[in-house]
């Protein structure tokens, strides 16, 4: 279990005085929610062990079980926790396998939908770029710059440029490109303890991008996806721009 003991004693003091709470009168369950989330994000991530039971949390926090349930329900809706009946409540293992597939439905030569394979081509330590650092919430920081392609049947279908804050990713700054695996987020997690939990993507079309890996002509339309990926605290830890051809593009959304 994650160590959440001694919460009870800290409860009142911590809840009302910590930064987000000065002067605010948040509902009890919001305070519990925030406190649990803080505890989770400052621990080493464990996806295989349950967090304390609702009953335990209720006792530790000195609130009723219904209040804890409401807090956990919120965290579940946000995609941070998953509840499994009979087993417990777990940190949700985020999987972004499907994320680019939300936009691109690539087919291989047989016509089946496939996930393009990723391959890092270049890794480079570079000086500060203002607009990237703005996005990452940093200032004048060195950056780790990565070029990566994604392929289906040995054909390059997407080209990606990735910027990381050098500070948090020192562990991989000097590794050769070949050691970066197919998927980057598990790689970040293993090597740097940086966990991507959410991302916001922006989609647009451009005729301005000349890509070194896509053999596109001048003035040809490309799809551009800008992604900012964040950790549990909402802190940006990666900025990425992906380019691809429009013919494979397909995206479905439900509006309510």
Partner DNA sequence: AAGTGGTCTAGACCACTCT
Partner DNA sequence: GAGTGGTCTAGACCACTTG
- Burial track 158-189 (b if 16+ CB lie within 10 A, e otherwise): bbbbbbbbbebbeebeeeeeeebeeebbebbb
Query: Are 70 and 83 within 8 A, CB to CB?
Result: no
Q: Taking phi first (over 0 means left), then psi (-120 to 50 degrees means alpha), and beta for anything else, what does residue 129 get?
A: beta
Q: Verify binding: residue 203, a second copy, rule CB under 8 A.
A: yes
User: Residue 99's CB: how many other CB atoms inside 10 A?
Assistant: 16
> Which among 48-56, 119-127, 171-179, 238-246 is the span making contact with DNA, rule CB under 7 A?
48-56
Side-chain-side CA neighbours of 167 within 13 Å: the count stands at 11
237 belongs to the binding site for DNA (CB under 7 A)? no
Binding-site partner at residue 204 among a second copy, DNA, none, CB < 5 to 8 Å by type: a second copy
256 binds, among a second copy, DNA, none (CB under 5 to 8 A by kind): a second copy
- Binding residue for DNA (CB under 7 A) from 40, 54, 123, 144? 54
- The structure tokens listed for 85 are 């009946």
Residue 252 touches DNA, criterion: CB under 7 A: no
Q: Of the two residues 68 and 222, which places its CB atom closer to DNA in the complex?
A: 68
Beta carbons within 8 Å of 12's beta carbon, 6+ residues apart: none
63 binds DNA (CB under 7 A): yes
161 phi and psi, to 5 degrees?
Answer: -115, 130
- How many residues at the interface with DNA, by CB under 7 A? 24
The site partner of 202 among DNA, a second copy, none (C-beta below 5 to 8 Å per kind) is a second copy
Span from 32-40, 107-115, 182-190, 247-255 in contact with a second copy (CB under 8 A): 247-255
Question: CB 43: neighbour CB atoms within 10 A?
Answer: 13
The one of DNA, a second copy, none whose footprint includes residue 221, by CB under 5 to 8 A per kind, is a second copy
83 binds DNA (CB under 7 A): yes
- Report d(CA 90, CA 82) in Å as an integer: 5
If binding is defined by CB under 8 A, does position 246 make contact with a second copy?
yes
Contacts with a second copy, residue ranges (CB under 8 A) = 78-79, 94, 96, 99, 102, 197-205, 221, 223, 246-247, 249-256
Contacts with DNA, residue ranges (CB under 7 A) = 27-30, 50-51, 53-56, 63-67, 69-70, 83-89
């Amino acid at each position: 279990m994650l160590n959440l003991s001694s919460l009870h004693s800290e409860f009142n003091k911590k809840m009302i005085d910590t930064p987000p709470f000065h002067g605010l009168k948040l509902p009890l369950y919001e305070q519990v929610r925030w406190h649990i989330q803080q505890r989770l994000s400052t621990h080493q991530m464990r996806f295989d062990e349950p967090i304390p039971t609702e009953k335990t949390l209720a006792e530790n926090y000195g609130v009723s079980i219904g209040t804890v349930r409401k807090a956990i329900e919120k965290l579940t809706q946000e995609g941070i926790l998953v509840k499994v009946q009979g087993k417990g409540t777990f940190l949700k293992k985020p999987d972004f396998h499907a994320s680019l597939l939300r936009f691109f439905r690539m087919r291989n030569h047989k016509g089946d939908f496939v996930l393009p394979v990723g391959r890092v081509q270049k890794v480079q330590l570079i000086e500060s770029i203002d607009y990237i650092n703005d996005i990452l919430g940093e200032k004048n920081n060195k950056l780790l710059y990565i070029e990566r392609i994604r392929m289906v049947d040995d054909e390059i279908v997407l080209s990606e440029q990735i910027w990381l804050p050098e500070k948090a990713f020192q562990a991989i700054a000097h590794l050769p490109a070949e050691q970066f695996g197919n998927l980057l987020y598990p790689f970040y997690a293993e090597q740097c303890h940086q966990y991507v939990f959410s991302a916001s993507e922006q989609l647009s079309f451009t005729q301005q991008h000349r890509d070194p890996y896509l053999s596109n002509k001048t003035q040809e339309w490309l799809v551009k996806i800008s992604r900012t990926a964040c950790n549990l605290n909402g802190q940006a830890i990666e900025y990425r721009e992906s380019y691809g051809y429009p013919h494979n593009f397909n995206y479905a959304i439900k509006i309510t």
